[in-house]
Amino acid sequence: MQAKQIPTHGLKSEHPLTFKIERIDHRNHYNPLKLHRHDYFEVFIFEKGGGVHLIDFEELPIQDRNIHFVTPGQVHQVRRSQQALGFVLIFSEEFFYVNQTREDFLAKFPFFYYTTGAPTLELSPDAFQICHELVIQMDRAYTGSSSMKYTILQSYLQIFLCRCVDFHRQTNPHADLISLGWNQFQGFQLAVEQQYTSMHEVAGYARQLGISPRQLNALAQKHAGCSAVSFIHRRIMIEAKRHLWFTGNSVSEIGYNLGFEDPAHFSRFVKKCTGCSPSELRAKLSADDKLVEIDKH
C-alpha cells in the first residue's frame, strides 16, 4: 500500500513569536479545503455558517456564531460553503506565553488538546458580538504599525480566550473549571496526551496523580462523560486511525508504535473499539479518500 503523506504546515515569519489573522475567505498560502495539520494553534470565528469542519475524523457543522479550535498536530479540513465567512486566528505557543505568568493556560483551556467534548463553542448574539469585537481589534492591530504591536496582540488574544472560557462556563454550569476535581482531571488529560503510547492502564495514571483508580474513574465520568479507561482508549484510537489512514506502516508496526508489543492484542483492541479489524478499518478509511483531498504541497 502506498503511504499517503499528510503535510504539517508551519508558520512562516521572520518574527520568532508568530501571530496571524486572516479572513476565512482569504486565499491562504495552502489550500484549506485539503486535509492537513499544523504545528500551531488555530481558532476559527465563523460569523456566517455553512459546510462542515473535519477535525480528527469528526465532522463538525459550521454554524452561525460558532468558534472552532484546532490544536497543533490535529488533522483537519475546512469544507465550508461559499456563504461561510469569518476570521481565523493563527498563533504559536511561544507567542502566547511571552509575558504570560500562567504557563499552563493553553493546556487547561477547555477547547485545545484532547478536549472533554467537541472543540467548538456556539455563542448567543450578544456573546458573539463581544468576541467578534475583540477579533476586529486584533485585525486592526495586526495591520497597524504600532511599536507595541505584538504586546497588544498578545493581550487581545488572552482576553479573547478568557472570554471564550467565561461563555463556556455560562452555558455549561456544571463545568467547574477551577475546582480541585477539574484540575486533577486536567492533570490526567495532559498525562494521557504525553504517555498514551507507553501507558494504557488507569492505575498508572492514578498513581501519578496521587489518587485511586476509583477516584480517577469518577473524575473522568464527571468531566468527560466516560470511564478513565475509555478516555485513554479514545486517545489511542485517534492516533491509530491517523496511522492507518495516512501511513503505509503495517498493522504490527502501528500497534508497536502505540505501545502494543503483541500485534494480536492491538487487533483485538481496534476490533473492540470500532467493530472492525485494523485492516478493515484501514480499508474503510481509505474508501473515504474520494471525499477527502490530501494537500500534497
pLDDT tens-digit profile of 95-141? 887 666 566 677 667 777 655 566 889 999 999 999 999 999 999 99
Report whether 109 contacts 189 (CB < 8 A).
no
Q: What is the pLDDT of residue 11?
A: 62
Q: What is the pLDDT of residue 247?
A: 81
- The two beta strands, 51-55 and 58-61, are antiparallel
Q: Classify residue 295: in a domain, yes or no.
A: no
Q: Classify residue 230: in a domain, yes or no.
A: yes
Tell whether 161 and 277 lie within a shared domain: no
Q: Classify residue 158: in a domain, yes or no.
A: yes
Tell whether 133 and 216 lie within a shared domain: no
Tell whether 64 and 162 lie within a shared domain: yes
Final residue before a domain boundary, out of 142, 171, 200? 171
Tell whether 211 and 158 lie within a shared domain: no
Tell whether 135 and 189 lie within a shared domain: no
Report whether 252 contacts 285 (CB < 8 A).
no
Q: Whole domain around residue 227: which residue ranges?
A: 180-287
| Global model pTM greater than 0.85 | no
Q: What is the pLDDT of residue 179?
A: 56
CATH for 50: 2.60.120.280
Report whether 54 contacts 35 (CB < 8 A).
yes
Final residue before a domain boundary, out of 130, 154, 171? 171
Nearest alpha carbon to residue 90 among 8, 185, 11: 11
Edge-to-edge strand list for the sheet holding 76-80? 58-61, 51-55, 76-80
Q: Classify residue 131: in a domain, yes or no.
A: yes
Angle between helices 213-224 and 202-209 (to 10 degrees): 100
Report whether 142 contacts 19 (CB < 8 A).
yes
Tell whether 104 and 224 lie within a shared domain: no
Q: Classify residue 41: in a domain, yes or no.
A: yes
Nearest alpha carbon to residue 60 among 82, 44, 72, 39: 44
Tell whether 239 and 282 lie within a shared domain: yes
CATH for 239: 1.10.10.60
- Which residues in the chain show pLDDT less than 50? 1-3, 14-16, 28-30, 177, 289-297
pLDDT tens-place string over residues 30-51: 455 567 778 789 999 999 999 9
Tell whether 51 and 73 lie within a shared domain: yes
Tell whether 213 and 165 lie within a shared domain: no
Q: Classify residue 28: in a domain, yes or no.
A: yes
Q: What is the distance between the alpha carbons of residues 259 and 200, in angstroms, rounded to a whole number? A: 8
Q: How many domains does the chain have?
A: 2
Tell whether 23 and 132 lie within a shared domain: yes
Tell whether 130 and 191 lie within a shared domain: no
A 10 A CB-CB count for 271 gives 14
Q: Classify residue 1: in a domain, yes or no.
A: no
Q: Classify residue 133: in a domain, yes or no.
A: yes
Q: What is the pLDDT of residue 117?
A: 60
How far, CA to CA in Å, does 114 sit from each of 198, 232, 244? Answer: 17, 10, 20
Tell whether 230 and 192 lie within a shared domain: yes
Report whether 198 contacts 259 (CB < 8 A).
yes
Instruction: Read off the amino acid at residue 85.
Output: L
Q: What is the distance between the alpha carbons of residues 253 and 115, in angstroms, rounded to a whole number? A: 27
Q: What is the pLDDT of residue 217?
A: 93
Final residue before a domain boundary, out of 171, 190, 225? 171
